[in-house]
Amino acid sequence: RTWQTIKEYSDILFDFYDGIGKITINRPRYRNAFTPTTVMQLIDAFNICRERGDIRVVILTGAGDKAFCSGGDMHVKGRGGYIDENGVPRLNILDVQKQIRTIPKPVIAMVNGYAIGGGHVLHVVCDLSIASENAIFGQTGPKVGSFDAGFGSSYLARVVGQKKAREIWFLCRQYSAKEALDMGLVNKVVPLNELENETVLWAKTMMEHSPLALRMIKAGLNAELDGQTGIQELAGDATMLYYMTDEAQEGGKAFLEKRKPEFNLKPRCP
Ligand code: 2NE
Asked whether 73 and 31 are in contact (CB, 8 A), the reply is no
What does the chain come to in residues? 270
Distance CA 214, CA 256 (A): 35
Asked whether 38 and 11 are in contact (CB, 8 A), the reply is yes
Q: Is 118 in the pocket of ligand 1 (CB under 6 A)?
A: yes
pLDDT digits (tens, 9 = 90+) for 239-255: 999 999 999 999 999 99
Neighbours of 96 (CB within 10 A): 23
Q: Which residue owns the Cα nearest ligand 1 atom 38?
A: 70
Ligand 1 mean position, distance from CA 12 (Å): 17
Helices (H) and strands (E) in the chain, counts: 11, 14
For the entire predicted model, the pTM comes to 0.98
DSSP letters for 243-267: HTSHHHHHHHHHHHTTS------S-
Distance CA 62, CA 67 (A): 6
Q: What percent of the chain has pLDDT over 70?
A: 100
Q: Which ligand 1 atom sits closest to the C-alpha of 73?
A: 32
Which band of pLDDT confidence, cut at 50, 70 and 90, is reported for residue 153? very high
Q: Which residue owns the Cα nearest ligand 1 atom 32?
A: 73
Neighbours of 170 (CB within 10 A): 10
pLDDT digits (tens, 9 = 90+) for 14-71: 999 999 999 999 999 999 999 999 999 999 999 999 999 999 999 999 999 999 999 9
Q: What's the chain's average pLDDT?
A: 98
Q: Which ligand 1 atom sits closest to the C-alpha of 145?
A: 48
Kindly provide the ipTM of the predicted complex, given to two decimals: 0.98
Which H or E element spans position 143? helix 141-144
Q: Is the pLDDT of residue 267 over 90?
A: no
Q: Which residue owns the Cα nearest ligand 1 atom 23?
A: 30
Phi, psi of 219 (to 5 degrees): -65, -40
Does the annotation flag 117 for ligand binding?
yes
